[in-house]
Amino acid sequence: MALTRKPSLKQLFESRTPDSILVIRTDRVGDLILSTPFLRSLREQFPSAHITAWVAPYCEQVLIATGLVDSIVTSLPSGHFDLAVSLAPRSESLKNTFASAATLRVGYIYTDRPMVRLLARRCLTHCELIKVSVPDHLEHEVEHLDRLARFMGLPPSTQRPLELGLRFKTKDWSVLHLGDRWFTNGWSVDDVIRLCYGMEAFGRLVVTAGPREAELVARGGFAEFDLRTGLRFAEWCQLIGESKLLVSPDTGAVHVAAALETPVVVAYEAESYQHCSVQWRPWKVPHRALVKGAPDSTVTEILSAAREILDAKKRSREAPRQG
Is 138 within a domain?
A: yes
Compute φ and ψ for 96, nearest 5 degrees.
Answer: -65, -40
- Report pLDDT for 1: 42
User: Between 323 and 73, whose confidence is greater?
Assistant: 73
| Number of domains within the chain | 2
Per-residue confidence band for 322, with pLDDT thresholds at 50, 70 and 90: low
Q: Are residues 193 and 310 in the same domain?
A: yes
Over residues 297-311, mean pLDDT: 97
* Domain enclosing residue 126, as ranges: 14-151
Same domain, 138 and 187: no
147 shares a domain with 177: no
In a domain, 160, yes or no: no
- The pTM score is 0.93
* Closest to 231 in 3D by CA, of 10, 17, 14, 29: 29
What pLDDT, on the 0 to 100 scale, is given for residue 133?
Answer: 77
The answer to whether residues 132 and 265 belong to one domain is no
| pLDDT tens digits, 27-62 | 999 999 999 999 999 999 999 999 999 999 999 999
The mean per-residue pLDDT over the stretch 179-208 comes to: 94
Q: Which residues of 228-264 are buried (b: 16+ CB within 10 A; e: fewer)?
A: beeeebeebbbbbbbbbbbbbbbbbbbbbbbbbebbb
- Candidates 128, 159, 165; CA nearest to 37 is 159
Residue finishing a domain among 151, 185, 202: 151
Does residue 39 sit within a domain? yes
Query: Does residue 245 lie within any of the structural domains?
Result: yes
